[in-house]
Structure 1
Amino acid sequence: MLDHIDLADPRFFSTPEHLRVFRYLRDHDPVHWNPDGTEPGFWSVTTYEDCLAVQKDGATFSSAGTNTLGQQRWTGDEGAGRMLTHTDGARHTELRQVVNRAFTPRAIAKLEPYLRSIVRQALEEALEHGECDFVDTVALLPVASIAALLGVPQQDWTLLLRLTTAAFGSADQDVQTSPSARASAARAHAQLLLYCQDLMQQRRRRPADDLVTRLVEAQDSGLLGEEDAMLFFDLLLLGGNETTRHGAVGALLAFMEAPEQWRLLRGDRSLLPAAVAEVLRYVSPSRHVLRRAERDVELRGRLIRAGQDVAVWHSSANRDGRVFQDPDTFDITRAHNPHLALGSGPHYCLGAALAGMELQLFLDELCDLVGSATLLEPPARLASTVINGFKGMRVRLLPA
């Protein structure tokens, strides 16, 4: 069954076939060797139990190398050992403390009125037109939230949305800004870094209560070099944008495919927190993270050699029937939902509270304003090993 499958090929994830393949792997080959192909060979762990164990064991499975599958495995990852997502232990804790205060539930709650108004305005405009590409409708919600925390002025949101889309979706030819995926991603990241450099220079002259100012302060204290601070900005912007944006689109698609769940949520808003958790599990906007074995280790009878990469497939773990009853069913009343969509262990998502609030506001406003939604054509899925996302999804929205 797997002779023709390369889990490093982004095109494989643009069709529903990957769900069937991962189901097979969980049942028959849970620690799977993907031979050299699109990328150098690597191991995949696909069951909930193994994904959880690998992420919690940073001593054996290090984050300090390349963090995801992609072109950087050939060229080297400039963030290795330097970025929050690419460090372990004491250094990881130090970097997390630079920005932790901005992501506490209390700090995030201050953004709620502002973000709710953005969601409402976007949905009202879509309803006014009747038909829309929902990917465009929700595009600025996560950009607005992370940009507010970073201190990015509103006139630059569209630019940063375009650059983050190119940086994360570069494997898909439709979103490339250069002839090749490698060049497209490199160009987008370079532009983001230069933008950050300019913004940090502004904050040196005029400090503000935002994350860019904290990155400048971390440089002044010797905790970060200038390039490290720029990489931190890049990471925060990318992480704060892509997951929520595609999660919101995936949420609407899930409700259109299960209209009884939509009626249930509209009738009982106390289900909103459970609905957010189920969206994150069912959609799994982040497909995987990559770890590197620090020593020879045996897992389910397979010998993983020191230096070999291990892909931890959250998207597969979240469909594991050993943990989730009827895992392929979208059920917002699910009582037991310990999903791994936001990671686990020391690298649990820094922006988890922000992502949860964004999705809850989105669903709440959707319930208020939208009576029904109809898919006008099959959604165009992003060809990506990293993001379970969408290039387009045309829908017809009717008011409540």
Structure 2
Amino acid sequence: MNAVLSGPLVPAIVQESLGQIDLADPLFHTSSNQHRVFKLLRDFDPVHWNEDGTEPGFWSVTRYEDYVAVQKDGKSFSSAYTNVLGPQRRTGDEGSGRMLTHTDPPRHTDLRQLVNKAFTPRAVAGLEPYVRSVVGRALDEAVEVGECDFVEVVSLLPVASIAALLGVPESDWRLLLTLTTAAFGSADQEFRAAANADARATAAQAHAQLLLYCQDLMRQRGCDPKDDLVTALVQARDAGRLSEEDAMLFFDLLLLGGNETTRHGAVGSLLALVEFPQEWERLRADRDLLPGAVNELLRWVSPSKHVLRRAVRDVELKGRLIETGQDVVVWHHSANRDERVFDAPDRLDLGRSPNPHLALGAGAHFCLGSALATLELRAFLDELCDRVAAATVTEEPERLASSVINGFKRVRVELKPL
């Protein structure tokens, strides 16, 4: 079925151009045309019904103001069923009502309190020298090689950071990156949907290995507690605040959440600086711009494309009646290009101020790892400016076919050293 715009205010030519668009189709999100489509939606149909197609129908919210309204209205829109588009909308989500991302207060508040302390700006600040060393080594190796796949260059940065907080030994980082990639998704949604039984079995096997790894690490921490997140999960389990399975799901969530978005955020940031070289030079000349640069690049890249909520009561939004039980998708990367909030949103401006971007969410589900993510990107940008004078994209970047992650499978670049 088609996602068709309708109504007297929508010009016929817009209806025609958008009539074949299915926002749930992973292939749509590999198109360079997608920002134009979302602009048309913001202008003419900001609360848009996407007909049954790749998935059952759902509402799409594309403007900043409406995004915030949905995210902050927990009485009307629930997170407890599932939180992104995908087949679990039909089959059921194993994390429903159990994982941090799939719960509403008060359970959500309880779960967040279990690990909040480890993610405060003060707590993660101690990781900065370590993060810089990881980034520096990776960039030095890439510069020496010259031409490289930048997705691979930055692959260990987020894994190393979240692994350090979890308490995973450095010797196992590469293993966790391999298992996380196989289990969750650096394979894009199109591939995963079409994959044969052997490929799906491989993904399931990788996921099972991750859970077994977590179980073994939890067993170790039960005998030898340390100052890390796995120990906190073990203590919560022993206190009856988490079941064994819920603790393992929490480990899964932290590892995945600390991996995919930051990695693709770094790759997207490099491509943005290549597209706007004057901004790269501006940042290299004035490192006081770093905090603002991180915010602007998060806005620009929006590594996480959307989150999904389910209406638990009838509610009207922009003249549209959203009925109980219907799913509502709020698009980060569309809200972050909303001309009603951001001047010249399609221009990268590392000095943009104010910059109330929504790349890290809003409301009760504001990103738990926001301080860690911003530290990683700040260290990445600083080390990049110290080592790389310019970058040339040598092949057309290969985007993930994903409605969830704004990312890349392959980005071949040639790095010019300073």
- TM category, shorter: over 0.9
User: In the TM superposition, what are the counterparts of 1:272-351 in structure 2 within 5 Å?
Assistant: 272-351=290-369
Aligned-partner Cα distance in 2 for 1:177–1:143:
28
Structure 1 gaps of 5+ residues are: none
Aligned-partner Cα distance in 2 for 1:224–1:233:
12
Aligned-partner Cα distance in 2 for 1:381–1:186:
24
In structure 1, what is the equivalent of residue 12 of structure 2? none
In structure 2, what is the equivalent of residue 179 of structure 1? 196
When residues 17 and 185 of structure 1 are mapped into structure 2, their CA distance, relative to the original with a 3 A threshold, is farther
In structure 2, what is the equivalent of residue 61 of structure 1? 77
Q: What code does the residue aligned with 1:44 have?
A: S
In structure 1, what is the equivalent of residue 137 of structure 2? 121
Asked if the contact 1:171–1:383 (Cα under 8 Å) also holds between the matched residues in 2, the reply is: yes
RMSD of the TM alignment (CA)? 1.6
In structure 1, what is the equivalent of residue 267 of structure 2? 249
In structure 2, what is the equivalent of residue 356 of structure 1? 374
In structure 2, what is the equivalent of residue 168 of structure 1? 185
Asked if the contact 2:115–2:232 (Cα under 8 Å) also holds between the matched residues in 1, the reply is: yes
Q: Secondary structure at the match of 2:172?
A: helix
Q: Secondary structure at the match of 2:259?
A: helix
Q: What code does the residue aligned with 1:115 have?
A: V
Counterpart among 63, 74, 95 of residue 47 in structure 1:
63
Q: Secondary structure at the match of 1:119?
A: helix
Aligned-partner Cα distance in 1 for 2:194–2:266:
25
Query: Structure 1 length normalisation: TM-score?
Result: 0.97
Asked if the contact 2:391–2:415 (Cα under 8 Å) also holds between the matched residues in 1, the reply is: yes
Aligned-partner Cα distance in 1 for 2:39–2:225:
51
Q: What code does the residue aligned with 1:314 have?
A: H
Structure 2 gaps of 5+ residues are: 1-16
In structure 2, what is the equivalent of residue 18 of structure 1? 34
Q: Secondary structure at the match of 1:120?
A: helix
Q: What code does the residue aligned with 2:135 have?
A: V
Cα shift at 1:3? 1.9
Q: What code does the residue aligned with 1:284 have?
A: S
Q: What code does the residue aligned with 1:18 have?
A: Q
Aligned-partner Cα distance in 1 for 2:192–2:149:
16
Which digits, 9 at most, give the CA deviation of each residue in 1:51-108, with x for residues without a partner? 0110011111011011100121121101011111111111111100100111011110
Q: What code does the residue aligned with 2:106 have?
A: A
Whether 1:149 and 2:165 are equivalent positions in the alignment is: yes
In structure 1, what is the equivalent of residue 389 of structure 2? 371
In structure 1, what is the equivalent of residue 253 of structure 2? 235
Cα shift at 1:155? 2.1
Cα shift at 1:175? 7.6
When residues 169 and 177 of structure 1 are mapped into structure 2, their CA distance, relative to the original with a 3 A threshold, is farther
When residues 176 and 27 of structure 1 are mapped into structure 2, their CA distance, relative to the original with a 3 A threshold, is closer
Cα shift at 1:179? 2.1
Cα shift at 1:164? 2.3
In structure 1, what is the equivalent of residue 7 of structure 2? none
Whether 1:8 and 2:24 are equivalent positions in the alignment is: yes
When residues 93 and 29 of structure 1 are mapped into structure 2, their CA distance, relative to the original with a 3 A threshold, is same
Asked if the contact 1:246–1:389 (Cα under 8 Å) also holds between the matched residues in 2, the reply is: yes
Counterpart among 99, 104, 112 of residue 96 in structure 1:
112
Aligned-partner Cα distance in 2 for 1:268–1:359:
16
Cα shift at 1:184? 6.1
Aligned-partner Cα distance in 1 for 2:221–2:38:
47
Asked if the contact 1:169–1:175 (Cα under 8 Å) also holds between the matched residues in 2, the reply is: no
Aligned-partner Cα distance in 2 for 1:89–1:79:
15
Whether 1:139 and 2:150 are equivalent positions in the alignment is: no
Query: Structure 2 length normalisation: TM-score?
Result: 0.93
Asked if the contact 1:261–1:332 (Cα under 8 Å) also holds between the matched residues in 2, the reply is: yes
Cα shift at 1:182? 6.3
Q: Secondary structure at the match of 1:58?
A: coil
Residue identity (%): 69
Which digits, 9 at most, give the CA deviation of each residue in 1:285-311, with x for residues without a partner? 000000000101111111111011100
Aligned-partner Cα distance in 1 for 2:376–2:273:
17
Cα shift at 1:178? 5.5
Whether 1:200 and 2:218 are equivalent positions in the alignment is: yes
Asked if the contact 1:169–1:383 (Cα under 8 Å) also holds between the matched residues in 2, the reply is: no
Cα shift at 1:314? 0.5
